[in-house]
Amino acid sequence: MSSETPYLVPALERGLRLLEYLAAHPGGVTTAELGTLQLPSASLYRLLSTLVHLHYVEREEGDRYRLSRKLLSLGYRSIDEAGLTQQASGQLRKLRDRTGETAFLAVLYGREGVVIDEVVSTQPVKVTVQIGHHFPLHTAAPGKAILAFLPEREREELLRDYPFTRFTAATLDNATAFAHELETVRANGVAFDRGEELEEIRCAGAPVFDRNGRPVAAIWISAPRSRLGDEKLEQTGREVRRAADAITRNLVTEGV
């Protein structure tokens, strides 16, 4: 034990290492794969049993384990305490009213994004997403918006061996094409999803920054392609960036 950290609790340290590993593998892992943590088998079993009992981890068929939504809910509370959702809610409503489309707020969760708030469109045909929904980063406007402004080293680490799953003909399915896309997002401050996960859905997103200039979230609007053609999508992107900038100012003013 290091003289600089004389009060470490070994069992807690092992448990947190286990949670971090699970967070890095949102699809779940087997006990065999958890062997890379080099924990004694008995300790690993007790840790997993405890986390499952407390509902922080879910056990699935095939002896697979993954994080539950309980940890995610703790993260939401932390975000709320920092004032993100509170500071964003008014601008989301204004964005919905200006564009007529559903406005969303999301944050990173491992190598996925997760929806933490939405203000639903009043259109008879609208896009809605369940709070807590996870989405792939490479196809989603909010994912691109956050990734584009992360520190380069952190972004590279997050995207190392990233699975660029192809959903539609428009999906950016390789690292080179995605890197070029992020360069464009950094230059314009706006990210787009042009039917890259669902052919009929278009999205425009922009990053939200904290007082240290870190992209802590993204907002976006989503609508059917019939209402968001190329020209309208570009116009809407400017509205989204305007709202995102306003939320950033709110966060900086509040010292978040």
Model confidence over 88-147: pLDDT tens digits? 999 999 999 999 999 999 998 878 998 999 999 999 999 999 888 889 999 999 999 999
* Long-range interactions of 158-167: CB distance < 8 A, separation 24+: 158/111, 162/111, 162/137, 162/138, 164/138, 165/136, 165/138, 167/139, 167/196, 167/197, 167/198
Specify whether 133 is located in the same domain as 54.
Answer: no
In a domain, 4, yes or no: no
pLDDT for residue 256: 52
Mean pLDDT of 12-20: 89
In a domain, 186, yes or no: yes
In a domain, 76, yes or no: no
Query: Could you tell me the pLDDT band of residue 69, with boundaries at 50, 70 and 90?
Result: low
Question: Which domain-ending residue is among 67, 89, 109?
Answer: 67
In a domain, 3, yes or no: no
The mean-pLDDT minimum among 48-52, 128-132, 170-174 falls in 128-132
Residue 3 pLDDT more than 50? no
In angstroms, rounded to a whole number, what is the distance separating the alpha carbons of residues 156 and 154? Answer: 5
Q: Which residue has the tokens 């428009």?
A: 170
Q: Please say whether the beta carbons of 68 and 76 come within 8 A.
A: no
With CA atoms as reference, report the closest residue to 186 among 215, 224, 164.
215
Specify whether 49 is located in the same domain as 94.
Answer: no
Burial of 210 (0-12, 13-18, 19+ CB in 10 A): middle
In a domain, 72, yes or no: no
In a domain, 74, yes or no: no
Specify whether 58 is located in the same domain as 111.
Answer: no
Q: Which residue has the tokens 């802590």?
A: 216
Specify whether 246 is located in the same domain as 167.
Answer: yes
Question: Which domain-ending residue is among 39, 67, 95?
Answer: 67
pLDDT for residue 81: 46
Mean pLDDT of 17-29: 85
Tokens of 137: 């980063």
Specify whether 61 is located in the same domain as 85.
Answer: no
Specify whether 98 is located in the same domain as 200.
Answer: yes
Q: Are strands 215-224 and 102-109 parallel, antiparallel or unpaired?
A: antiparallel
Residue 196 half-sphere exposure toward CB, CA atoms < 13 A: 26
DSSP string covering 34-92: GGGG---HHHHHHHHHHHHHTTSEEEETTTEEEE-HHHHHHHHHHHHHHTHHHHHHHHH
The verdict on pTM exceeding 0.75 is no
Structure-derived torsion over alpha carbons of residues 123, 134, 166, 149, reported in degrees to the nearest 10: 90
In a domain, 201, yes or no: yes
Specify whether 98 is located in the same domain as 171.
Answer: yes
Mean pLDDT, rounded, of the chain: 89
Domain containing residue 236:
81-253
CATH assignment at residue 54: 1.10.10.10
Indicate the number of domains in the chain: 2
The one-character DSSP state at 233 is: H
Specify whether 159 is located in the same domain as 193.
Answer: yes
Specify whether 121 is located in the same domain as 211.
Answer: yes
Q: Which residue has the tokens 């943590």?
A: 37
Specify whether 48 is located in the same domain as 105.
Answer: no
CATH assignment at residue 207: 3.30.450.40
Specify whether 63 is located in the same domain as 86.
Answer: no
Tokens of 191: 């990210």
In a domain, 75, yes or no: no
Beta bridge partners of 194: 202
Specify whether 100 is located in the same domain as 37.
Answer: no
Question: Which domain-ending residue is among 42, 67, 92?
Answer: 67
